[in-house]
Amino acid sequence: MNGNAPTTANGALPGGGAASGRCPAGGGAAPGSPGCPIAIDPLVGALAEETEALRTAGPLARIDLMGAEVWTVTTHAQARKLLTDTRLVKDITRWNLWRSGEIDESWPLIGMVDAGRSMFTVDGAEHRRLRVKTAQALTPRRLEGIRPVVEGIAGRLLDALEAHAARAPEEPVDLKSAFAQPLPMSVVCSLMGVDPELEPRLHQLYEAFFSMLTPQDERLAVIQELDDLYAQMVRHKTATPGDDLTSALILADEGGEPLTPEEVRGNLEAMVAAGHETTVTLILCAVRALLTHPDQLQLVLDGEVGWEAVIEETLRWESPSTHLLMRFATSDIEVEQTGVVIRTGEGVVMSYRAIGRDREQHGQDADCFDVRRPAPIRHLAFGHGPHICPGAGLSRLEALVALPALFERFPGLSPAVPVTEIRNRPVLTQNELESLPVRLR
Ligand code: HEM
């Protein structure tokens, strides 16, 4: 799909060839510059090294996303500028690699750029029309109404963990599958009115969808099954509306132009997909960070630092999204102070993990987890501009319920394996842990 040999984060060629600081494709170009893209590892084998390589490459770096060469943004200041630049749009038909046929539905990351019609994929007035009802459902006042639902789900999951601890106090438990994963899934399903019985199947489908190890024909079958499931839900809710956001979207009448069933399906799909994995990561990474920084955990348990600080610092330090979502240039964009020109038709993603570690923005100790950082921590983990995450308040609420409740019930919580052994799942867009084995007592 592109003729250049990409380097991985540590300067090695994918598959083993070595290089250091110079492009293995030759020509002396630095990794991350045009002609010498840094290959983003789909198996997420060395996230810290990858973040460092991107940071070294500068505010804009050329990356190889499984065969597609695009730009990525690595600094806070440039991300803020480019996320509000109307010359960058979500419309995939503007992408040169798509137009030329070099990228098509067989690309493993197709879900990142061609996710069907929803607020994810449109801009301008159309975007506002698709987004407004969802955003209204997640205002701080509305979230207070959702809080008891979150508390109820978290409480039930913690009861089950307590029963496990009573039965088998020595036996480790995977905090991901037993707590951090089901909580956000159940919350977003409850918000959208998705039948709870579907949750286990949705979980399986999203595991396969996001994993870069899933063969592409299987992924396309997963996407089809998800589309069919959500279309069926929209038909059902249209016939028998309930007290949920999907029904509200069906009944919405924005300026006399109701959303089409296809648009409701797209938004429902966007909400469930975006509304669970990211929050799972937030909760797990916060727990892992606290368990590996016991002095900071103590400050929080002593009430000297609030849980909000833990959540914001985790969002900055271990951004749940690593590389997300692609935008396309509708004209040449000269990026100030970088010497880079993004050419018409080129793709641009945001490397949120590198952005959260930006030293210009967060100081020379940006790589350190420190809940004592002065508030507010101005991170961009939820994006910026018109597409900023509408679920930010909900995920903060979930973490704010989950974390204190977990540590209150299990003050002796400890890792059951050395944390260095905890791997990431092969998910290119998310900082998703494979598991988090812990001892509860
Ligand atoms: C820690 C948790 C979360 C993180 C880090 C996160 C991150 C993000 C980011 C970076 C974007 C911007 C994408 C872009 O600019 O193209 C985004 C958009 C979005 N998020 Fe989240 N998100 C989280 C939780 C949620 C939740 C809980 C929901 C829903 C319940 C949600 C729903 C969405 C939707 C629908 C969009 C698309 C908005 C648009 O395009 O206008 N997210 N999220």
pLDDT along the chain (441 residues), means of 10: 44 34 69 93 96 96 96 98 98 97 94 88 94 93 95 98 94 97 97 96 96 95 96 97 94 80 95 95 98 97 98 98 96 95 98 98 97 96 98 98 98 95 96 97 88
- Backbone phi and psi for residue 382, each to the nearest 5 degrees, phi listed first: -100, 15
Residue bearing the CA closest to ligand 1, atom 19: 389
pLDDT of residue 255: 66
Span between the terminal Cα atoms of the chain, in Å: 52
DSSP string, 369-384: --TTSPSP----TT--
pLDDT of residue 305: 97
Q: Which ligand 1 atom sits closest to the C-alpha of 83? A: 15
Can you tell me the distance from the alpha carbon of 6 to that of 35, in angstroms, rounded to the nearest whole number? 8
| DSSP reduced 3-state for 277 | helix
How many alpha carbons lie under 13 Å from residue 202 in its C-beta half-sphere?
27
pLDDT of residue 18: 27
Contact call for residues 89 and 387 (beta carbons, < 8 A)? no
pTM for this prediction: 0.94
Residues with CB under 6 A from ligand 1: 119-120, 131, 188, 270-271, 274-275, 278-279, 282, 320-321, 324-325, 381-383, 387, 389-391, 394-395
Residue of 389, 396, 429, 432 to mutate, ligand 1, most atoms within 8 A of C-beta: 389
Residue bearing the CA closest to ligand 1, atom 18: 389
Can you tell me the distance from the alpha carbon of 263 to that of 215, in angstroms, rounded to the nearest whole number? 28
pLDDT of residue 28: 75
How many angstroms is it from 188 CA to the middle of ligand 1? Answer: 12
pLDDT of residue 4: 40
